[in-house]
Structure formats: C-alpha cells, structure tokens
Amino acid sequence: MDTTQLLKGVLDLAVLAVIRDADGYGYDVLRRLRGSGLADVGDASVYGTLRRLYQAGCLTSYVVPSEEGPHRKYYGITDAGRLQLAESTKIWAGFARTMDDLLRGEAVA
Amino acid sequence: MTAPTVGTEADRYLQRVRAALADLPDDERNELIDDLSAHLADIDAETPDTLTEAALVERLGRPEAYAAELRISAGLGPAPDTAVPKKVRTLIDRARTRLDGMPAYRRFRAFLPELRPGWWVLRGYFAAVVLTAMLWGNFRGPLPDGGSETVVFLLFAAAAAYGSVWLGRRSDGFGRWGRRAVLAGGLFVGFVGLGIVMSTSGPNYGGQADYYYSGGPLESATDLRVYGPDGQLIRDAQVFDQHGNPILLPSSCEYVPRTRADGGVAENVYPRSLNQPPSVYCEDGSAPVAERLPGLLPAPPTDVVETPTEATPTAPPTGTTSPSVGATPSGTATPSGAATPSGTVPPTASATPSPSRSR
C-alpha cells in the first residue's frame, strides 16, 4: 500500500505530534518524522504543512541566528495547536480502531 | 536567511521553484522560498560533494513537482491552468517519468548542466555575429576581414559572451515564459549565427574541375587570351594552374567543346568558357575563333554547337600522343600553338572540366 496516500490525511497530526514536546525547524521536523518511521514523507509536504499550521495559528515561529549555515526558523506549538492535536488524536484513535476491527473481522471471516 | 550562492545548482533549483510559485502573493512566496533556501543549505551542508542537479532532483523531485507539493500541503491553490490541454500534459508527464526511469537518460541529464556555460559563451559569440552582420553587413565566416574590424568584433563578442553568461545564470528565475523566451532567442541567434559563420565568399577549392576565380581582377573576365614571348596571340591555348587544374572563369560564355584530331575531346581550349545560365549573354564573335592547329579540329560553327551536359574524360594528353593538345603552364608556348607539355605538371585526366558541376 502506498503510504504517501495515507500520509496526506494525517501529516498535520504527525507534525503537531513531533513539535509537541520540542520546538524544531523545518529540516529538523522532517528528520524526526523520518526517524519515527515515516520514511516516505516528502520534503515539500512537511514545509507546506508547517506553513499551513502556522497560518492557522497552531504553531508559532521564531528565527534563531546561526553562526554556521542558515538562520533557523523554529516552530513551536501553540495552545490552539495543542487543542487541535488533542482533537485529531481522538479522531485518529477512533478511526484506527475502526480500521483494525474491520481488518481483523475480514481476516476472521 | 542565507541564500545559496548564485549560480550553484541549489540556486538554480530555488529559482525554478520560485518561478513555479510566481502567481502567489510576494509575502507568501518569499516565506516558502526562504524555507526552501534554508533547507537546500542544510542539504548542501551534509553532502560532501558539490550538489548536482540530478542529486537534487533525486532527493526533492523536480522543482515544479516540489512547488506543486508545497502548494497542496500548504493549502494554497494549484498553479493557474496553463494553455496545454490536460491530455497532452499527462502524456508529457508519462513520457518524462519513463525517461527518468532510464539510467542512461539520467546520466545524460546529469551531464547536460556541465555544457551550459559553454553554450552561454557560444550564444554570446553568435549574438555578436548576428548583430555585427546586421550593423556592418557583408559579414561572412567566423571572423570579419581586416585587422581593426576583427579587434572591434572580438571585443564586442567578449562583451556579448559576458552578457550571455550573466543572462544564463539568472534566466532560471525568469518564470516559465521568460525561460522560453530566452530559449527561443538562443535558438534563433544560434541558427542565424551558425548560418553566417558557415557561409564563405572565398575561392572554392572544392573540386578539381570547379577551380575558378571569384572576385579579384578576373571576376568579369570571360576569356583568357594567351600571348607568347613574341607578342603573338596563341590560338587554342589551354591554361592550367600549378596543380594541373584548368582555369575556369566565373563569367565565361558558353562552353564550346573542341575535338582533337584523334577524336577525343580537347579540354580547356581558349577561348573557352564555363557553362553558364542563359542570363550571361555572349555576343557572337566576341571571342577569337580558334584556328586550325595540328591535332586540333577547327571550332565548329556556333549554331551547331550543343553544349554537353557532361564532358567525357579523355586520356591524359601526354607528350607522346598529342603534343599539340596541351599548352604548357610554363608560358613558353610558341606561337604555333603546338606547345610541348613540360612533363612536370601535365594536365591530366583529372583536369577534365565538367561544365554541369560548375556554379
């Protein structure tokens, strides 16, 4: 199954989850997602998602100057972001359970 | 944000993504480009080798695809629809995907950027050629004739090459139509410039029988009259160059075949001429009539003459068979016309003029 298709629906959730505990800049977030096992996540998708979440008020951003290399634009989660993460988590949990049941039922039948 | 150095592959990539996002509001686009710029710098930093276009595409996808993915995930509208019908675009995309799957094509693609600077310089030179030809006129060959003109042209060409490289390093950021305009302009300049460079007006040294003089004092000569040391006109003389090629004149009258006494075709007997289109008009009697010579039959009456389309090669006139046929190129021919070939440069069969080939 193509995971990129599945990812599209839950990338918001994944990005929020990755930033929840620690702020991060774009490439950092990308690496964390890939490190978590989402190997197929696309670079552009992550940057676009960060941008959209920021504009929706779920993320804040601040620039950290860097001595070597580019300045880093860090993203941190806002209260609105935490709220959305909590809601999305609930929805995802219900959805995942439904899918699990469905698949298990098929396997038994 | 620190932008990658201008002119690197990363910068080119960035410019193309920027171009693909050209319809977005400036703020929005700049934010996205800044993110990508930092991202590219991070990628660059962790790659020991210099980033190639192929490596970037491998990692991020083509710039246009990257921009499209960015739009979707950022919740921005898709790029404005282009004039290309969807069906055609699908076909092109499919072909491109298939090509991208071939290692040989990928290697070829990876090699192409290496050639770009060379093309930029060449494009500048061609632009200089085209412009110079337009301004001065009469521009032929790779360089103009004459010392000072050549220097001026070379300076001009250097400036044009510089400008072309400058343009080449920036044109990636010009947007789709800008890039197409640059490409079209480059192709135009290339083709026209190549045409000018390839054209020559010098003498044509191509074929043995096509050796004729163009330009210079012989340009309007229609006949050659050979005089001996005694001041007497040498009738039915033949003139050859140092290679034994017959001298043909560009504006000669009709070719008149002559026959040797042994039945062969006597070549290059003056008055002689090149076969010409009927636009050249020769008055009757404008050329001296060859007199009868030993070994050469008299010139046939002009109204009976039929211009041959293909001259038959004959046996080389050697000193033993027909001494009268060839006047020596040395100019020591005697008034009798029965000049003896010196033997050093005998007019050979290769000297046979083929009137249909000339001009």
* Crossing angle of helices A3-21 and A79-108, rounded to 10°: 140
CA distance from start to end of chain A: 22
pLDDT (0 to 100) of residue B231: 80
pLDDT (0 to 100) of residue B38: 87
- Cβ burial B100-134 (10 Å sphere, 16+ → b, else e): eeeeeeeeebeeeeeeeeeebbbbbbbbbbbbbbe
Please give the DSSP secondary-structure letter assigned to residue B78.
P
Residues of chain A by 3-state class (helix, strand, coil), percent to 5: 65, 15, 20
Q: What is the pLDDT of residues B55-114, one digit of tens each?
A: 888 888 888 889 988 888 888 877 776 666 677 878 888 888 888 888 888 888 878 888
Residue A65 scores a pLDDT above 90: no
Bridge partners, B318 (sequence order): none
pLDDT (0 to 100) of residue B285: 43
Reference B237, options B267, B274, B275; nearest CA is B267
Nearest by CB to B2, from A26, A47, A71: name it.
A71
Residue B1 scores a pLDDT above 50: no
Does B73 lie at the interface with A, CB-CB under 8 angstroms? yes
Reference B31, options A59, A2, A89, A9; nearest CA is A59
A:B CB pairs within 8 Å: 74
Distance from CA of B57 to the nearest CA of A (A): 12
Distance from CA of B95 to the nearest CA of A (A): 22
Contacts of A46 in chain B (CB under 8 A): 73
**pTM of this structure:** 0.47
Least confident of B68-82, B131-145, B205-219: B205-219
Does B29 lie at the interface with A, CB-CB under 8 angstroms? no
Least confident of B101-105, B122-126, B155-159, B255-259: B255-259
Whether B66 and A51 lie within 8 Å, measured CB to CB: no
Residue B183 scores a pLDDT above 70: yes
pLDDT (0 to 100) of residue A89: 93
Neighbour count for residue B340 (Cβ, 10 Å) = 15
Give ipTM to 2 decimals: 0.85
